[in-house]
């Protein structure tokens, strides 16, 4: 629905910053939204509200965490510095809210910090090995362009909280600085990229990453000084790939087909290749290894970066040392060290990050105020499918645990009820007459929030980005993101 993507900009009020970037090509059409950057907890002293100045030595890193509900302002006074590969402008004030991040300098710099945060300096970082990985990928891209082939399809795997997403962001930023346009694939439904949790996305990056917004913003965020990114989005609706592999695998296949089609249509993206982020859970067990094999097969992966796990690297060697892609390429395996700045993120933080992403989708951020619409929907007019929760549910009532695909469908067609209160529904690019397989393979049009359920009047109160008819589209109800607090 075009209205979800384009018209929504007209309802935005923007306070523009001085950060500037060049124009970006329109690449894909889907309503995602800038995702809050991940955060973590440090046992470190807290800076008070007074302005502090730090001198960073060459090849060192300043790591910081800003709690949700607070903000800090950071300015590079002199020298050069970057955040996950994106260079920071000198004498420009950057504002960070509810995030964990780090500023790295190759040659030394002086920074000014205004506001409370937890922070510490780190002199040992894996940045040299990471940048060497980037240059190795650049060599593969040069060879691909020269020979008319595809650039590297890079898969990043590792346990939870190993820094996979940070590495993907760094490699993406370095590639765009070289004039490339990498296709970034997110297969982790717990942490969506340019969308809300519960989705899998494919996003071409043709311009700089907005360091204040995490990955940046999509058109639904309203006008932005940094060019928006246009992700293609599919809805999984569960927290873990292992919750329902019968649903997760076909969605991955559909995402891979869409990404491959985009590469075939754009020679710049084809020469740059893909960078694929993965959930940590699939790197921690046999069932997850099978999902890694599925991703490798569907995306024709020819480079695997193993982050922070000797055991996983050994397993990847065993599985893929003799593996060939569909085009006959061998798979290159690279083991990388985990950054010392990676820390565990507890359930409380994950919930805060999830709620922040949802609020930002409907109401914008401090720089962009959005005004969603409410509408009434009759029970009889809504077509809602509920996702089956876990694999166990598919086989628990069958003899010997055998699964029968004829007995249990992909979704359950449900009537609205009070159980949906405060939940999100994904509105799909499909018809209410389409089969469940067609609905599953459709991309996401947008999301609506169930603000009120009146079972006596058989009516839903829906919060939507635009006052647009949604009853002619099927809607999917998943368990992730989890039921949140009232937005209204």
Q: Which residues are annotated as a binding site for ATP?
A: 61, 100, 161-166
Q: Which residues are annotated as a binding site?
A: 61, 100, 161-166
Task: Output the 3-class SS for the chain.
Answer: CHHHHCHHHHHCEECCCCCCCCCCCCCCCCCCCCCCCCCCCCCCCECCCCEEEEEECCCEEEEEEEEEEEEEEEEEEEECCEECCEECCECCEEEEEEEEEEEEECCCEEEEEECCCEEEEECCCCHHHHHHHHHHHHHHHHHHHHHCCCCCEEEEECCCCCCHHHHHHHHHHHHHHCCCCCEEEECCCCCCCCCCCCEEEEEECCCCCCCCCCCCCCHHHCCCCCCCCCCEEEECCCCCHHHCHHHHHHHHHHHHHHHHHHHHHCHHHHHHCEEEECCHHHHCCHHHHHHHHHHHHHCCCCEEEEECCHHHHHHHHHHHCCCECCCCCECEEEEECCCCCCCCCCHHHHHHHHHHHHHHHHHEECCEECCCEEEEEEHHHCCEEEECCCHHHHHCCCHHHCCCCCCCCCEEEECCCHHHCCCEEEEECCCCCCCHHHHHHCCEEEEEEEEEEECCCCEEEEEECCCCCCCCCCEEECCCCCCCCCCC
């Amino acid at each position: 629905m075009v209205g979800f993507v384009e018209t929504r900009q007209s309802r935005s009020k923007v306070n523009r910053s001085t950060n500037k970037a060049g124009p970006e090509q329109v690449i894909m059409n889907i309503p995602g939204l800038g995702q809050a950057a991940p955060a973590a907890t440090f046992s470190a002293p807290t800076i008070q509200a007074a302005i502090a100045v730090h001198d960073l030595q060459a090849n060192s890193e300043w790591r910081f965490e800003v709690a949700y509900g607070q903000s800090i302002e950071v300015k590079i006074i002199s020298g050069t510095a970057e955040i996950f590969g994106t260079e920071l402008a000198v004498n420009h004030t950057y504002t960070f809210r509810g995030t964990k991040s780090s500023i790295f300098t190759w040659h030394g710099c002086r920074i000014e910090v205004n506001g409370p945060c937890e922070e510490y300096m780190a002199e040992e970082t894996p940045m040299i090995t990471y940048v060497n990985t980037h240059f190795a990928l650049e060599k593969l891209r040069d060879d691909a362009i020269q020979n008319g082939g595809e650039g590297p399809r890079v898969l990043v795997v590792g346990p939870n909280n190993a820094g996979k997403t940070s590495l993907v962001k760094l490699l993406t930023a370095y590639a765009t600085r070289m004039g490339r346009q990498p296709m970034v694939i997110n297969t982790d439904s717990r942490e969506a990229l340019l969308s809300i949790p519960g989705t899998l996305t494919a996003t071409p990056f043709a311009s700089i990453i907005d360091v204040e917004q995490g990955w940046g913003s999509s058109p639904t965020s309203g006008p932005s000084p940094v060019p928006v990114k246009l992700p293609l989005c599919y809805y999984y609706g569960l927290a873990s790939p292992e919750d329902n592999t019968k649903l997760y695998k076909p969605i991955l296949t559909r995402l891979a087909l869409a990404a491959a089609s985009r590469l075939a249509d754009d020679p710049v993206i084809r020469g740059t290749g893909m960078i694929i982020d993965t959930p940590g859970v699939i790197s921690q067990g046999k069932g997850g290894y099978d999902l890694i094999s599925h991703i490798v097969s569907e995306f024709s992966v020819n480079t695997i970066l193993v982050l922070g796990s000797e055991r996983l690297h050994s397993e990847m060697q065993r599985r893929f040392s003799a593996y060939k892609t569909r085009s006959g390429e061998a798979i290159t395996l690279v083991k990388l060290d985990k950054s010392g700045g990676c820390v565990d993120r507890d359930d409380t933080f994950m919930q805060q990050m999830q709620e922040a992403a949802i609020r930002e989708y409907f109401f914008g951020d401090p720089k962009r105020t959005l005004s969603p619409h409410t509408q009434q929907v009759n029970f009889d007019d809504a077509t809602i499918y509920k996702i089956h929760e876990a694999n166990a549910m598919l086989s628990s009532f069958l003899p010997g645990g055998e699964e029968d695909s004829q007995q249990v469908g992909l979704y359950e067609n449900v009537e609205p009820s009070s159980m949906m209160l405060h939940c999100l529904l994904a509105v799909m690019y499909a018809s209410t007459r389409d089969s469940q397989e067609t609905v599953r393979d459709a991309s996401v049009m947008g999301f609506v929030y169930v603000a009120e359920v009146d079972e006596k009047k058989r009516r839903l109160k829906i919060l939507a980005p635009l006052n647009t008819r949604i009853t002619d589209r099927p809607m999917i109800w998943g368990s992730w993101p989890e039921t949140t607090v009232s937005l209204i």
